[in-house]
Amino acid sequence: MPYFSCWLSLLALLVAGTAAAQSAPPARLLRQRAVSLMSSPVDASVQVAKGVLTTLTFDSQLLPKSVMVQGRDTHFERFVVEERTVTFKPKVDLTADERLLLTVRFADGAAPQEAIFILIPAGEQVDAAVEVLRRARNAEALQLELTQVQAQLVALQGRCGDGGPTGLILSGLLDSDVRTSDFIAAVPPGNASGLNVERGMGYRTRAWAVVTVRVRNLVGQRVWSPGVARLSTVRGQSIQVKSLRTVKPQLAPGEEGLVLVETGAPVWQEKDELLLELSDTANGRSLPIRGVRL
């Protein structure tokens, strides 16, 4: 959990009211994570990159002949299916809007019988190892997970201090250096995302910056949940995004919600116009936003 996560929600309460750079970050972190199929057979995404080996490990036996992936011959230099694992290495990087479906079926016939994964281009992290949980964990495993979550909560509370404005000041994250700016956010004409930007605001210090935009999902559209944020200058300089947070995890048709994007120390001029792109990794709907000021 990012170290700013405790105060980003506070900044959301302080708000009164793009074609993004396509170049990938120079270095990516390999991550391990677990996903559960007990609530849904579809996981949101698996981030992949050229030359990086990704392994999906399952707690149930697979039907190897049933495993299918789009672009197997054109996109992968290695693709190996075993009883409980699927291992692959892309030979090309996916384009920014490219999505590949990976489908597996299980041998025992129990529900869920099938799992679908969406392979997407990696941002700052690549999924090197993904543990796929299909069965309920035993009490010992659940207790261990609870202990880990409690430890993370204690650490977060320690970083946040007393919380609220006083906690921010004591933490050194909020001082006289902070600057705010309103900006008129604009969606390029002809954009077919089915989304609109209500308004935007920026927060900037020497050490960090946060851009907030209020997004509306138009009536008649599918549910939208931003999973990736890309930020750049109009000259094409990519800006590293440290975190993406939303006040609402997803926007139903007709709903609006606040989206917060955090960066590190500003490397751009305060007068520069920035470009922001928010993407739903599950269905590929991207919202480009021009006119961002931080």
Contacts of 125 (CB under 8 A, 6+ apart): 28, 29, 30, 31, 47
Helix (H) or strand (E) holding 140: helix 139-160
CATH hierarchy code of domain 15-23+175-292: 2.60.40.1150
- The answer to whether the 15-23+175-292 and 39-133 domains have the same CATH topology is yes
> What is the predicted pLDDT for the residue at 24?
42
Query: Would you state the CATH architecture of domain 39-133?
Result: Sandwich (2.60)
Contact 11, 260 (CB under 8 A): yes
Which of 285, 284, 243, 294 shows the shortest CA–CA distance to 120? 284
> What is the predicted pLDDT for the residue at 13?
45
Tell me: cis bond preceding 112? Omega within 30 of 0 counts.
yes
Structure tokens at 271: 């007068």
Which of 257, 246, 274 shows the shortest CA–CA distance to 198? 257
Which of 64, 218, 40 shows the shortest CA–CA distance to 118? 40
> What is the predicted pLDDT for the residue at 26?
46
- Residue 259's Cβ-count burial label (10 Å; 0-12, 13-18, 19+) is buried
> What is the predicted pLDDT for the residue at 174?
65
Nearest 5°: the CA angle 37, 38, 39 is 95
> What is the predicted pLDDT for the residue at 161?
52
Domain boundaries, the chain: 15-23+175-292, 39-133
> What is the predicted pLDDT for the residue at 198?
73
Contact 253, 221 (CB under 8 A): yes
What is the pairing mode between strands 274-279 and 256-263? unpaired
For the whole model, what pTM was predicted?
0.47
> What is the predicted pLDDT for the residue at 142?
60
> What is the predicted pLDDT for the residue at 133?
85
Which of 102, 110, 108 shows the shortest CA–CA distance to 35? 102
Neighbours of 206 (CB within 10 A): 10
Query: For each successive 10 residues of the chain (294 residues), what is the average pLDDT?
Result: 48 42 57 76 77 92 92 93 94 91 88 87 90 72 62 58 57 70 82 84 87 89 86 85 84 88 86 87 81 84
Nearest 5°: the CA angle 149, 151, 152 is 65
Contact 221, 194 (CB under 8 A): yes
